[in-house]
Amino acid sequence: MCRREQRNRPGASALAPLPLGENAIIVGAMPPPGAVDATRDHGFHTLRVARVVTETPDAVSLVLDVPDELRATYEYAAGQFCTFRVVVDGATLLRCYSMSSAPGIDDALAVTVKRVPDGRVSNWINDNLSDGGEIEVTPPAGVFCLGDEPADLLLFAAGSGITPIFSILKTALAAGDRRIRLLYANRDRESTIFRAELDALAVAHGDRFVVIDHLDVDAGFVDAAVVARTLADDSTDCPAYVCGPTPFMDIVEDALLAAGVAPDLIHIERFTPAADLDESSAALADAPADGIELTIELDGRTETTAHRAGTTILQTARQLGMDPPYSCESGSCATCMGRLREGTVTMHTNDALTDEEVEEGWILTCQSVPTAPVVSVVYGYD
Ligand SMILES: Cc1cc2nc3c(=O)[nH]c(=O)nc-3n(C[C@H](O)[C@H](O)[C@H](O)COP(=O)(O)OP(=O)(O)OC[C@H]3O[C@@H](n4cnc5c(N)ncnc54)[C@H](O)[C@@H]3O)c2cc1C
Ligand code: FES
């Protein structure tokens, strides 16, 4: 269900052709029908919001009612997310929200959404949803998941980044006897999500769970010294899970590496803001054609064009005036996924699709550049 992510920073500027990084993979077109099982349901379902819980003045949790016939479809692993589709001021917008609930522990699937200043969807959800409302959601996805090995854990969260970390924490505490240290950074006490729940877990599991609170108002932003203090003497062999704003995650990652934590033990979930793709796609429209014929099908419309060097399939679709789905544009969310019908692509970052999905020909169009003379892609969401 969940393959954990490769550690990498989103080096791909939306304005520049993507460099061929160490994590790039070549993806071929989907196998013939019947050769593989179609694994995941990638479509949207309308779910009832059973409850809206006010967590802080800036954050709500949505407890979702998953009907019996969709139970299997909405099974998830701690750390995964769902993609939500809402219409705000006439624009259809897609955003990912991680489960704050833990599978097998919490009765219902819940996500927690924190307001972003001027953010369209986060504020719409906080202001408009109430008990009994409805929302469109895709089934769970993502690879920021707890591994099977019973190792002790280091957790690092800041702000809304606590959401998948909270799910991972509850799951890890419930199964086995791992020791867990959580560094949790927030602006101030009032904005701290799950304060009471974390305190209760620390009391219930005091012998093996420590939460280290960091409030910016008291101590300034987290720096390398704070991260170093979070590490117990023997904790550089533990897997580390990190989620929060980019500067926080960069500081944590650098400090962990400096302390000797192996790169493949560091797991990072990026809540990267959506970029202004109109601007970036327009800039790449002047790139020279590279001899590749690219066909894109979306919402029943099919366009064939001379591909421009370095341009992703998502950027090409936008240059063609299509309206492709996207959210993070950094390979984290799978909102932009499509399926290769013909040819090959290089996918620069994949922190969202499972190995099985890649074998089936699914690609993240925001990370995929065509590499065969003829390439054809169909967008997967309905
Ligand atoms: C895999 C994944 C899981 C996520 N899980 C969660 C979650 O559990 N809870 C949660 O609250 N959010 C989560 N996010 C972030 C969420 O998807 C949205 O990006 C966020 O809610 C902002 O969307 P918006 O429409 O409100 O803002 P937009 O209208 O897209 O952006 C408005 C402005 O705010 C900036 N901005 C956008 N997002 C952020 C941000 N996160 N921090 C700071 N500035 C930003 C933009 O650059 C822009 O200037 C997740 C993202 C990903 C990719
Ligand atoms: S838009 Fe998020 S993975 Fe492509």
- pLDDT above 70 (res 336): yes
pLDDT score at 90 = 94
- pLDDT above 80 (res 317): yes
- pLDDT above 50 (res 222): yes
Buried b (16+ CB within 10 A) or exposed e, 71-100: eebbebbbbbbbbbbbeeeeeebbbbbbbb
**What mean pLDDT is predicted for residues 228-238?**
84
Distance 261 CA to ligand 2 centre (A): 28
- Measured distance CA(259)–CA(249) in Å, rounded: 15
3 state SS of 171: helix
For the chain, give me the number of helices (H) and strands (E)? Answer: 9, 19
Give the residue, 20 or 380, on which the prediction is more confident: 380
Q: Whose CA is nearest to atom 45 of ligand 1?
A: 273
Distance 232 CA to ligand 2 centre (A): 35
Distance 217 CA to ligand 2 centre (A): 34
> Ligand 2, closest atom to CA 331?
3
- pLDDT above 80 (res 382): no
Q: Could you report the per-residue pLDDT of 188-219, keeping only the tens digit for each?
A: 999 999 999 999 999 999 999 999 999 999 99
Confidence of residue 52 (pLDDT cuts 50, 70, 90): very high
Ligand of minimum distance to the alpha carbon of 367: 2
Q: Could you report the per-residue pLDDT of 358-367, keeping only the tens digit for each?
A: 998 999 999 9
Single-letter amino acid, residue 329 = E
For residues 136 and 83, is the Cβ–Cβ distance under 8 A?
no
Q: What is the DSSP letter of 159?
A: G
- pLDDT above 60 (res 276): no
142-146, 163-167, 205-209, 251-255: least confidently modelled range: 142-146
Q: Whose CA is nearest to atom 36 of ligand 1?
A: 273
Average pLDDT value over all residues in the chain:
87
Q: Kindly list the structural domains of the chain, giving each domain's residue range(s) and its CATH number in brackets, ordered by start.
A: 25-39+275-325+334-379 (3.10.20.30), 45-137 (2.40.30.10), 153-270 (3.40.50.80)
Q: Is the CB–ligand 2 distance for residue 125 below 6 Å?
A: no
- pLDDT above 50 (res 174): yes
Report residue 4 as tokens. Answer: 């954990």
**What mean pLDDT is predicted for residues 216-242?**
91
pLDDT score at 122 = 98
**What mean pLDDT is predicted for residues 121-128?**
98
- The CA radius of gyration of the chain, in Å to the nearest whole number, is 21
**What mean pLDDT is predicted for residues 333-337?**
86
Report residue 343 as tokens. Answer: 């040819």
Q: pTM here?
A: 0.85
pLDDT score at 354 = 81
Q: Angle, nearest 10°, between helix axes 162-174 and 195-204?
A: 20
92-106, 145-159, 267-281: least confidently modelled range: 267-281
Q: Is the CB–ligand 2 distance for residue 364 below 6 Å?
A: yes
Read off φ and ψ for residue 147, nearest 5 degrees: -75, 170
